[in-house]
Amino acid sequence: MISIRQVSKWYGSFQVLGECTTDIRKGEVIVVCGPSGSGKSTLIKCVNGLEPFQEGEIVVDGIPVGDPKTHLPTLRSRIGMVFQLFELFPHLRIIDNLTLAQIKVLGRSRDEANAKGLQLLDRVGLKAHANKYPGELSGGQQQRVAIARALSMDPIAMLFDEPTSALDPEMINEVLDVMVELAQEGMTMMCVTHEMGFARKVAHRVIFMDQGRIVEDAPKDEFFGKPRSQRAQQFLSKILHH
Amino acid sequence: MNLQVILDNLPYLLWGAFPEGQLGGAALTLVLSVASAIAAGILGLLLGIALSLSRGVTNAILVLTLGFFRAIPVLMLIFWTYFLLPVAFGIDVPGLVSVACALSLIGGAYLAHAVHAGIAGIPHGQWQAGLALGLSRMEVLRHVVLPQALRIMLPSFVNQWVALIKDSSLAYIVGVPELSFVAAQVNSRLMVYPAEIFLFVGAIYFILCSGLDLIAGFVSRQLQRRSQEAPDRGRCRQ
């Protein structure tokens, strides 16, 4: 469903991505990990065209992302994205955060969008907060709203950019629970995260990146069992043993 | 102090020769200020958005033009439109229009930078979140960025509008009978009551400017009540 071919990206002369290649099939859950600055976030932002790239090709559901003729808003509306800092719209009520794009992009009626929004808020356990503003919710609750907002567009795939990195420890699980549920329902997911428990539980494959390159791309058990590269071994030992 | 002199001239100071003659005095100051404030606001908003979205040459031209209007005194611009345009192009510009134009252009140039700063102050992540949902750049600007930015900009707008009310007194120089002009008229007719007259004029400007401040404070509180956003946008840590 998502095909990434030889993607390279530079900021000036600094190369942030180097010939990244991987494929994500429908219903597959991929965890992307690696040290900070390794290009993980940049790579997933290339998938929905939030970050341009200079070389290579990304095709999502048959649509080439890098093609200037591709209408990016349409493509993006079909891929859900969840950000590290939630990025809810602070001036809109929770329910309006969920209906804005449904109405403006998908052309749904307000009633239809509202019903869909409430159904999804119910699903993440936050229906009672529909009329509050984002600032009144905890970080974990805000991130669950952000997931519901992405789901309100009926996406064919979901991108997660370190969804739990900005959360207090006790709020991480409530967000991961929603993500696990989503994975078990068969959603195609690409998650940049350091939550190895989540990776062990639901990921099909783990991609390890370092210095803008995909160093390791292996099935979960293989990755956790015996990573081939030394760099991945070091990384794993650092984040698993402390 | 002779308050009788103020009372005797009160109608003339407040609305000039109206309704028999032309509107003047405090009423004309108010009309002139409101019209210029609206024009400056619209101009500032449009130019500020253009400043934020444009790149390269367009952006450079815009920055230069705005810099020009911020650099020249209001009085010069009034003189140019009032004296220069008729000479250069044979267009006769009424004093009132030349002042309104000058105030709008210069106010707009200042506000454009405030709008630009307000837009730039919205975190990049908000743009990304809007775009990721499939909204176009203009839709993100309209529904996500501007509503938040305008709240940040409100104090700058009020500052600029207060300055504009006071600058409207420069219309005096081209014979527009606004508050300062009629006050000077009354003063030269009576000769012996300058303290009373100009204290009264000062009080009127004070009321106009504070009134605007009060309205802005009220609007800002209403906006705040509508979204009780926490200052840190509810994040646990960065």
What per-residue string of b and e applies to B112-135 under the rule 16 or more CB within 10 Å gives b? bbbbbbbbeebeebbbbbbbbbbb
pLDDT at A242: 55
Contact at 8 Å (CB) between A241 and A64?
no
Give residue limits of the domains in chain B: 3-226
Contact at 8 Å (CB) between A237 and A222?
no
Alpha carbon dihedral B213, B214, B216, B220, in 10-degree steps, equals: 130
**Measured between alpha carbons, how far is B10 from B179 in angstroms, rounded to an integer?**
11
Q: Residues of B with CB below 8 A from A74's CB?
A: 134
| Tokens 């190369």 -> residue | A15
- B-chain residue closest to A167, CA distance: B236
Domain with CATH 3.40.50.300 in chain A: 1-78+160-242
pLDDT tens string, chain B, 238 residues long: the values are 788 888 888 889 888 888 888 888 999 999 999 999 999 999 999 999 999 999 999 999 999 999 999 999 999 999 888 888 888 888 888 889 889 999 999 999 999 999 999 999 999 999 999 999 999 999 999 999 999 998 889 999 999 999 999 999 999 988 899 999 999 999 999 888 889 999 999 999 999 999 999 999 998 888 777 655 444 444 443 3
| Tokens 């190895």 -> residue | A196
> Cα–Cα–Cα angle for B93, B98, B101, nearest 5°?
130
CA A70 to chain centre: 21
pLDDT at A49: 94
* Adjacency order of strands within the sheet including A63-64: A14-24, A2-11, A55-60, A63-64
Give the minimum alpha-carbon distance from B123 to chain A in angstroms, rounded to a whole number.
9
**Measured between alpha carbons, how far is A160 from A189 in angstroms, rounded to an integer?**
8
Q: Residues of A with CB below 8 A from B144's CB?
A: 89, 100
Question: Residue B144: is it exposed, middle or buried by C-beta count within 10 angstroms (0-12/13-18/19+)?
Answer: buried
- Residue B28, C-beta contacts closer than 8 angstroms, at least 6 positions apart: B15, B16, B176, B177, B178, B179
- A-chain residue closest to B238, CA distance: A166
Q: Residues of B with CB below 8 A from A161's CB?
A: none
- Decide which of 1.10.3720.10, 1.20.870.10, 1.20.120.1730, 3.20.20.80 is the CATH code for B3-226: 1.10.3720.10
Number of other CB atoms surrounding residue A84 within 10 Å: 20
- Residue B74, C-beta contacts closer than 8 angstroms, at least 6 positions apart: B102, B103, B106, B167, B170
**Measured between alpha carbons, how far is B26 from B35 in angstroms, rounded to an integer?**
14
- The HSE-up count of residue A75 (CA atoms within 13 Å, CB side) is 23
CB contact under 8 A, B134 and A74: yes
CB contact under 8 A, B132 and A76: yes
Q: Residues of B with CB below 8 A from A88's CB?
A: 129
Listed residue (B88, B114, B85) closest to B102, CA to CA: B85
Structure tokens at A92: 């809109």
Q: Is the confidence metric ipTM above 0.90 for this complex?
A: yes
CB contact under 8 A, B230 and A87: no
Listed residue (B94, B103, B101, B80) closest to B166, CA to CA: B103
Instruction: Render pLDDT for B144-180 as a digit per residue (tens, 0 to 9).
Output: 999 999 888 999 999 999 999 999 999 998 889 999 9
- Residue B144, C-beta contacts closer than 8 angstroms, at least 6 positions apart: A89, A100, B122, B126, B127, B129, B130, B135
Instruction: Render pLDDT for A4-58 as a digit per residue (tens, 0 to 9).
Output: 999 999 998 999 999 999 999 999 999 999 988 899 999 999 999 999 999 999 9
A139: part of which helix (H) or strand (E)?
A: helix A139-151
* Adjacency order of strands within the sheet including A79-82: A79-82, A157-161, A188-192, A29-33, A205-210, A213-219
**Measured between alpha carbons, how far is A48 from A61 in angstroms, rounded to an integer?**
12
Q: A219 in contact with B at a CB cutoff of 8 Å? A: no
A99: part of which helix (H) or strand (E)?
A: helix A94-104
CB contact under 8 A, B229 and A89: no
What per-residue string of b and e applies to A142-158 under the rule 16 or more CB within 10 Å gives b? bbbbbbbbbbbbebebb
**Measured between alpha carbons, how far is A200 from A198 in angstroms, rounded to an integer?**
5
CB contact under 8 A, B229 and A87: no
Homologous superfamily of domain range A1-78+160-242? P-loop containing nucleotide triphosphate hydrolases (3.40.50.300)
Query: How many CB pairs below 8 Å do chains A and B form together?
Result: 108
Give the minimum alpha-carbon distance from A168 to chain B in angstroms, rounded to a whole number.
6
Chain B residues whose C-beta is within 8 A of a chain A C-beta are 123, 125-126, 128-136, 139, 143-144, 147-148, 151, 227-230, 233-238
Q: Residues of B with CB below 8 A from A171's CB?
A: 236
CB contact under 8 A, A76 and B134: yes
- B-chain residue closest to A47, CA distance: B132
A47-61, A203-217, A218-232: which range is least confident on average? A218-232
Give the minimum alpha-carbon distance from B140 to chain A in angstroms, rounded to a whole number.
10
Rg, Å, chain B Cα set: 22
CB contact under 8 A, A74 and B148: no
Q: Residues of B with CB below 8 A from A151's CB?
A: none
**Measured between alpha carbons, how far is B25 from B138 in angstroms, rounded to an integer?**
43
**Measured between alpha carbons, how far is B69 from B50 in angstroms, rounded to an integer?**
16
Instruction: Render pLDDT for A81-108 as a digit per residue (tens, 0 to 9).
Output: 999 999 999 999 999 999 999 999 999 9
